[in-house]
């Protein structure tokens, strides 16, 4: 069996090691050593130091992965958020809100009721002076406006709920990723 002469990387003591050995324990300082072979040269490295370096590299890789996962999640959220945007009549984009849906319903519904009452009073007076019967359809436009207001409010309210639900999911997932990253430190 061929033997190589090395020195302990920890205490410097001479070691006689079989050529095919990959690990050895120093007989003087009890350090566990890895035998490294490169070309025709041999050297030793303290295994505990290698383990610390390996663990640090693993932590660094986990931190980079977590950071990458957070960036990916943020990019996905920006695309999802853009899908939730509603466009106003002048092209301005905004996020749907429950308060906005209620305010729009009250305003449009109020206008529809005003129209219905006003048109009914006009057509009632017009009928008494002999106006044609077709005049009686004007109050119906107000009722159509009220119906449209209710439909638009329900639609915008459900969009606002979907946005809030997706926002909560995003925030929860982001919190989880940040906590995982902090725990790996």
Measured between alpha carbons, how far apart are the two ends of the chain, in Å? 46
- Identify whether 34 is part of a domain: yes
Task: Based on the fold, state whether residues 36 and 101 are members of the same structural domain.
Answer: no
Task: Based on the fold, state whether residues 49 and 123 are members of the same structural domain.
Answer: no
Distance CA 68, CA 75 (A): 11
Q: How far is CA 172 from the centre of its chain?
A: 8
Task: Based on the fold, state whether residues 180 and 99 are members of the same structural domain.
Answer: yes
- Identify whether 129 is part of a domain: yes
Number of structural domains (the chain) is 2
CB contact burial 55-73 (16+ within 10 A = b; e otherwise): eeeeeeeeeeebeebbeee
Residue range of the domain that includes 23: 3-53
Taking Cα atoms as reference points, which of 30, 31, 28, 3 lies closest to residue 13? 28
Task: Based on the fold, state whether residues 174 and 99 are members of the same structural domain.
Answer: yes
Task: Based on the fold, state whether residues 116 and 180 are members of the same structural domain.
Answer: yes
- Identify whether 63 is part of a domain: no
Task: Based on the fold, state whether residues 90 and 48 are members of the same structural domain.
Answer: no
Q: What is the pLDDT of residues 89-146, one digit of tens each?
A: 788 888 888 998 899 899 999 999 998 888 888 877 666 656 565 567 888 888 898 9
Mean pLDDT of the chain: 83
- Identify whether 28 is part of a domain: yes
Task: Based on the fold, state whether residues 89 and 147 are members of the same structural domain.
Answer: yes
Regarding pTM above 0.75, the answer is no
Q: What is the pLDDT of residues 63-87, one digit of tens each?
A: 788 788 889 999 999 999 999 998 8
> In 3-state terms, what secondary structure has residue 162?
helix
Task: Based on the fold, state whether residues 49 and 89 are members of the same structural domain.
Answer: no
């Amino acid at each position: 069996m061929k033997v190589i002469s090395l020195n302990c990387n920890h205490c410097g003591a001479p070691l006689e090691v079989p050529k095919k050995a990959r690990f050895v324990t120093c007989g003087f300082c009890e350090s566990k050593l890895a035998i490294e072979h490169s070309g025709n040269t041999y050297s030793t490295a303290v295994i505990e130091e290698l383990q610390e370096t390996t663990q640090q590299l693993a932590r660094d890789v986990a931190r980079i992965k977590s950071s990458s996962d957070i960036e990916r999640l943020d990019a996905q959220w920006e695309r999802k958020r853009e899908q939730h945007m509603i466009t106003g009549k002048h092209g301005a984009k905004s996020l749907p809100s429950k308060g906005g849906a209620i305010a729009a319903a009250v305003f449009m519904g109020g206008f529809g009721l005003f129209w219905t009452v006003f048109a009914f009073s006009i057509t009632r007076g017009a009928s008494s002076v002999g106006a044609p019967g077709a005049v009686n359809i004007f109050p119906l436009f107000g009722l159509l406006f009220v119906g449209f207001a209710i439909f638009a409010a329900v639609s915008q309210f459900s969009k606002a709920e979907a946005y809030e639900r997706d926002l909560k999911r995003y925030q929860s997932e982001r919190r989880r990723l940040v906590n995982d990253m902090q725990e790996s430190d």
